C-alpha cells in the first residue's frame, strides 16, 4: 500500500516538474539531449532531496516551512516567468534586437529550487502520508518521487519541443508561452498554499 501511495505522491509532485520542463522545451533554442537530461536530472533530484531534507529537519520547523514555502516559490517562479515574457514580447516587437533564448545552468538550478521548496513540508509528514512502518519505506518513497519527477520532466521537454515545431521557429512566442506557464505555476502554488493556511482553513470551515 505504501508503494502505491508513494507513486501517487510522486505523480502529484512531478506535475510541477512537467510544467517547468514544458516551459523549458518551449523556450530554449539550443536544447540538446544532454541538456534535456541535465534539466530532468536537476528537477528529479530536487523533488527527491527537498522532501528528504524536510524529513530530516523534523517537526520543529514544520510550521515555519508550511507558512512561507509558497511565497518563496511564487517570487522565484514569477521572476523567471515575467522575465521570459518580457524578453519574448520585446523580441516580437523588435526581432532584430533579440537573440533566441539559450540554455542556462543557473536558471535551471533556480527553477529546480523554486519548484521543490514546497516539497519540504511533504517530507515532514511523509511517514503519515504514505503510512510507512519502517525507515527504508520512507527513503524508497523519496527515490520514487525523484524518478517520477525525472520521467515527467523528460515528457514535458519532448512535448515542449514538439509544440515549438508547430510554432515553426517563432521562438519569441514560445518564450511568452513558457513565461506564462511559469507565472501560472507560481500563482497556483501561492493560492494553494494560502488556501491551506491554518487560519484561512479554520475560517472556511466555520
For the stretch 115-157, pLDDT in tens is 788 777 677 767 766 777 778 888 999 999 999 999 999 999 9
Give the chain's largest Cα–Cα span.
Answer: 61
pLDDT digits (tens, 9 = 90+) for 148-175: 999 999 999 999 888 877 766 565 666 6
**Residue partners of 30: CB distance under 8 A and separation at least 6:** 100, 102, 103
CB of 20 within 8 A of CB of 115? yes
**CA-closest candidate to residue 164, choices 55, 28, 9, 37:** 28
Identify the residue whose cell numbers are 516551512: 65
pLDDT digits (tens, 9 = 90+) for 55-84: 887 656 656 666 776 787 687 778 777 877
CB of 101 within 8 A of CB of 87? yes
CA distance 110 to 146: 17
- 198 vs 9, which has greater pLDDT? 9
**Half-sphere exposure at residue 202, Cβ-oriented, CA atoms within 13 angstroms:** 2
**CA-closest candidate to residue 89, choices 160, 171, 19, 30:** 171
pLDDT digits (tens, 9 = 90+) for 173-196: 666 776 787 688 778 878 877 776
Domain ranges in the chain?
Answer: 2-195
**Half-sphere exposure at residue 190, Cβ-oriented, CA atoms within 13 angstroms:** 14
pLDDT > 70? residue 89: yes
CA distance 65 to 70: 9
pLDDT digits (tens, 9 = 90+) for 90-109: 767 765 544 557 888 998 99
Amino acid at each position: 500500500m505504501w508503494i502505491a501511495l508513494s507513486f501517487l505522491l510522486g505523480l502529484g509532485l512531478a506535475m510541477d516538474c512537467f510544467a517547468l520542463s514544458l516551459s523549458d522545451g518551449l523556450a530554449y533554442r539550443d536544447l540538446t539531449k544532454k541538456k534535456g537530461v541535465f534539466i530532468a536530472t536537476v528537477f528529479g533530484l530536487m523533488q527527491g532531496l527537498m522532501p528528504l531534507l524536510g524529513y530530516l529537519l523534523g517537526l520543529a520547523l514544520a510550521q515555519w516551512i508550511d507558512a512561507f514555502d509558497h511565497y518563496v516559490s511564487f517570487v522565484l517562479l514569477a521572476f523567471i516567468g515575467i522575465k521570459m515574457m518580457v524578453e519574448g514580447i520585446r523580441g516580437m516587437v523588435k526581432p532584430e534586437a533579440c537573440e533566441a533564448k539559450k540554455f542556462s545552468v543557473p536558471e535551471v538550478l533556480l527553477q529546480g529550487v523554486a519548484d521543490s521548496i514546497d516539497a519540504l513540508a511533504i517530507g515532514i509528514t511523509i511517514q503519515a502520508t504514505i503510512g510507512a512502518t519502517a525507515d527504508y519505506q520512507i527513503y524508497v518513497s523519496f527515490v520514487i518521487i525523484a524518478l517520477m519527477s525525472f520521467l515527467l520532466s523528460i515528457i514535458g521537454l519532448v512535448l515542449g519541443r514538439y509544440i515549438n515545431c508547430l510554432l515553426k521557429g517563432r521562438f519569441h512566442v514560445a518564450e511568452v508561452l513558457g513565461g506564462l506557464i511559469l507565472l501560472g505555476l507560481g500563482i497556483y502554488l501561492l493560492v494553494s498554499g494560502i488556501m491551506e493556511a491554518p487560519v484561512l482553513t479554520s475560517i472556511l470551515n466555520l
